[in-house]
Amino acid sequence: MTELGGRTAVVTGAAGGMGVEIARALALQGLAVAAVDNDAGQLRDSVEKLRGEDLLVHGFAADVTSSAEVEAVVDRIERELGPIDYLVNAAGVLRVGQVTELSEEDWTRTFQVNTNGVFFTSRAVARRMVPRRTGAIVTVASNSASTARVGMGAYAASKAASTMFTKCLGLEVARYGIRCNLVAPGSTDTPMLRALWNGDDATATSIEGKLDAYRVGIPLRKLARPADVANAVLFLLSDQAAHVTMHDLTVDGGATLGV
């Protein structure tokens, strides 16, 4: 990235997984990072670890599913750290289950975090970016937003919704010089993925694919690392992507065959 020193970035879902790695990557570029998460304890631990690496990261506990909490935390961040230049929507939950067996609670919760959270946070930040006529937003979506997955109806639908929302937002704010893009990861070695493995290491299954679930596997023969996703986010926020907006950058090792 270029010319980022002294600027401020917000990362939601920053207590762990991809979010904490994105926060680290941004802080390494000299940004003041506001790490936002609803898990105050884990957020505190993650922020302390990053600050132990001499990185300028500040923790802000907030629930992205609450419009009021989002507005309050965005106000606080701007008061304490300065105008927000970058936003990364990385908060997400994964509830699996075939549609005929999926509970209403799982469906609702998935959309509350993955879709409403992106809307609330993007709206709050974009409202402040527009008068300043500068800024960049990246939403971490999923390759499942464009490829059907067995047992992931709620997750895929929520990510598809946040994908199109981010593109529509990008169209609306382009006149103000604000860019909105997406990173769409596939299987990534995070606690969220490992929670699906029921205690067993299913790396090989992820790489090889499952014919009965219509998954073709990963042509690059490896899981993504959180750093792979963070690097894609960095590129889309950076001046190197100054003429890129409403773009969906897939980071899945070829698992969706480039479609």
Residues with active-site annotation = 155
Please state, in angstroms and rounded to a whole number, the distance separating the CA atoms of residues 179 and 167: 10
Provide the angle, in degrees to the nearest 10, between the axes of the packed helices 117-132 and 67-81.
40
What are phi and psi for residue 188, nearest 5 degrees?
-130, 140
Please state, in angstroms and rounded to a whole number, the distance separating the CA atoms of residues 187 and 197: 12
Please state, in angstroms and rounded to a whole number, the distance separating the CA atoms of residues 30 and 50: 13
DSSP 89-124: E-------B-GGG--HHHHHHHHIIIIIHHHHHHHH
Contact 8, 82 (CB under 8 A): yes
For residues 221-237, one letter each, b for 16 or more C-beta atoms within 10 angstroms of the residue's C-beta and e for the rest, the string is eebbebbbbbebbbbbb
Beta carbons within 8 Å of 131's beta carbon, 6+ residues apart: none
Please state, in angstroms and rounded to a whole number, the distance separating the CA atoms of residues 50 and 217: 34
